[in-house]
Amino acid sequence: MGSKLVENSRNVLRSSLALKKEETLLIVTDDSKKELAEALYAAGRSIGSETLLLVMQDREKSGQEPPSGVTEAMKHCDVAVCITEHSLTHTQAKKDAVAAGVRVATMPGITYDMFLEGAISADYDTVEKMTFEVTEKLSQSKQVIIRKDGEELSFSIQGRSGVPSTGIYREKGQSGNLPSGEAFIAPLEGTASGRIWIDGSISGLGKLDEPILLTMEEGSLTAATGRQGEMLLQLLGNGDGRNVAEFGVGTNEKARITGNVLEDEKVYGTIHIAFGSNNTFGGTIAAGVHIDCVVKAPTVYLDEALLLEEGHMKRS
């Protein structure tokens, strides 16, 4: 196990999660990410915290619930870090842990490279400032319009609150991804209509071979072009998995498009549209799946105000 890996893990636990010696740290992992989780375990031990490591079998897809024993353990610690192949971010298990006051960081699909370079190395005070700015704009807006390469997608966010994922979770009940840097919101169910080009990556599928065109009607995904578009439809199924669940804006200038959505969706100048569950952050759908699709350099309007122009942020 590399000393740099343990050192970076220790920095994450201290700076992002403010882990203290007297606290209990729970690391939830799976077979795929066990080795990286062991670096976090060593880091927690070096801080002096009571550190536990729980290993489960890989989930089949992002948004799938962990075993009941893991769910229960997550409610009975001070800090939980979920370092897994498929995301636990939008699960009831994570929601219940947060409600119990646990500080939760999720690291779905994180790699050795991502642990050593890129988004994890950002100045998170800067990320936090930009994330809060975008979150406030989302919360104050009613309508989103996204334009890219001649296509347009629109939906309502009226009455919904923006959610900041800053990478800083130092207070009871705070949670989000690590590495982080995004502001996101749950579109009003049934309102998304139009088409959008996805040209970054898709969670579970990686970088795209070619851009795919998604069509949405009455808040659901109805068509997707290309081989990877077909794979996306299969992952989502024919029911609530196709719900337009999330609109997110990347705010981390150190993040890179790597093919791993954990980092890709944080890239400054990108947006992402997700399908499936959104009941954990203000929506009404629990679908047992949550798949993010990353768009590079879009133009985005919040009501009449320009937020992004071909990927360039309009700062207030």
Report pLDDT for 120: 84
* pLDDT tens-digit series, residues 177-225: 898 999 999 999 999 999 999 999 999 899 999 999 999 999 999 999 9
Question: How does residue 142 score in pLDDT terms, banded at 50, 70 and 90?
Answer: very high
pLDDT at 205: 94
Q: The tokens of 216 are what? A: 């949405």
> What are the tens digits of pLDDT across the range 231-283?
999 999 999 999 999 999 999 999 999 999 989 999 999 999 999 999 999 99
Distance CA 271, CA 264 (A): 9
Q: 150: Cβ–Cβ under 8 A, 6 or more apart, which residues?
A: none
Distance of CA 242 to the CA centre of its chain: 18
Largest interatomic CA distance in the chain: 56
Domains and CATH numbers, the chain: 3-116 (3.40.1830.10), 122-313 (no CATH)
- The answer to whether 6 and 39 have CB atoms below 8 angstroms apart is yes
The answer to whether 178 and 27 have CB atoms below 8 angstroms apart is no
pLDDT for residue 1: 59
Average pLDDT over residues 15-36: 96
C-alpha triplet 230, 232, 235: angle, nearest 5°: 115
What 3 state SS string does 56-104 have? ECCCCCCCCCCCHHHHHHHCCCCEEEEECCCCCCCCHHHHHHHHCCCEE
Q: Is the pLDDT confidence value at 315 over 80?
A: no
Nearest to 44 by CA among 30, 28, 23: 23
pLDDT of residue 316: 63
